[in-house]
Structure 1
Amino acid sequence: MPAQSRAEVGRRVVHRRYVPYSHAHYAGNLVDGAYSLGLFGDVATEMCILTDGDEGLFASYSDVQFKQPVRAGDVLEITCEITRVGTRSRTMDFTVQVVARGAATDQAPGAADMLDEPLVATTATGVVVVP
């Protein structure tokens, strides 16, 4: 039997991830929106392991919003915060922010810049369930 849950409102998990060029699917090195949803699954899994000792299962997403493009060469910061704790369910708010953006040109193929202000690219609310 698992230990008592440590889930509490306000608990956060943060990941950073470089977006490889192999994930670009569209002109301008754009990455599809499903990429952000996959990252949300990663931070939610860590949150469930941290709080409940189990990977958990996603039950639903709501209010998914794609606000800025994600491009290959970006460095993303993905956050997950618990906003509600039920007996077996956890409601979480998710955000993907672009913290660095590739600035490659023919003269400087690996160039990139840290952004002064991160760009909020994707937001969502999700519900996970744990045993």
Structure 2
Amino acid sequence: MTRTVSYLSYNMTTSDASDKDGRIPVGRQFDFIGDVETEQMILNDGDESLCLGYHDVEIYEDVYVGDMMEYKATMTHIGNTSRDCLIEVFKLASRDKNSDKPGAMIWYDEPVLCSKGNVRLVVKKHLQRGEQPDGLVKDPWFELEDFPEDDVEF
């Protein structure tokens, strides 16, 4: 059984913004997209992947400081070493700018689709260790032979 969907939730902070208006640059959003697609590959193959590229990326909504975001990676194709995923970015809530309460949020009835696109990833054949259903990655490293401490250079 292959895990086909991974999620990452994140609340945008001032350190994510690039201007005084609190807008989050698309490049910063791709950091989180990269994280969710990496999680998808680790859970499916037990290893991180190499990103070959994105295509058909569409941006619908701006993202701002205080927005509660959800990043979603859905596996759409599994090849010998390549993996294709649909990436979707949703806004779940936004900071209530009209409230005096710190942390006041406006939650949307339905998540707002902010962007979507496709990505092709590669997991080298010799690194594929199969599905990791419990989320724990099996140790990929072979045991090193014991060697005298004086042979080690620091």
Q: Same fold (TM over 0.5)?
A: yes
Q: Using the alignment, how far apart are the partners of 1:39 and 1:27 within structure 2? A: 21
**Out of 86, 90, 114, which is 2:83 matched to?**
90
Counterpart-to-counterpart distance in 2, 1:85 and 1:48: 11
State the aligned residue count.
Answer: 124
Instruction: List runs of 5+ in structure 1 lacking aligned partners.
Output: 1-5
Partner of 2:42: 49
1:102, distance to aligned residue in structure 2 (A): 0.7
Query: What percentage of aligned pairs have identical amino acids?
Result: 28
For residue 15 of structure 2, the aligned residue among 2, 22, 25 is 22
Query: What runs of 5+ residues in structure 2 fail to find an aligned partner?
Result: 125-154
What CA distance in whole angstroms lies between the structure 1 residues aligned with 2:75 and 2:109?
27
Q: Deviations over 1:50-91 (max 9, x none)?
A: 111111111110011111011110110110001111100001
TM-score, with structure 1 as normaliser: 0.86
Q: Residue type matched to 1:48 in 2?
A: M
CA RMSD of aligned residues (A): 1.7
TM-score by length of 2: 0.74
Matched, 1:38 2:21: no
C-alpha distance 54-128 of structure 1, shift in aligned 2 (>3 A): same
Structure with the bigger percentage of strand: 1
How far apart are residue 41 of structure 1 and its match? 0.6
Instruction: Select the residue among 70, 75, 91 that pairs with 1:77.
Output: 70
Q: Deviation digits for residues 6-26 of structure 1, max 9, x if unmatched?
A: 657xx1001111111221223
Match of 1:103 in 2: 96
| Aligned residues of 1:62 and 1:124 also touching (Cα < 8 A) | yes
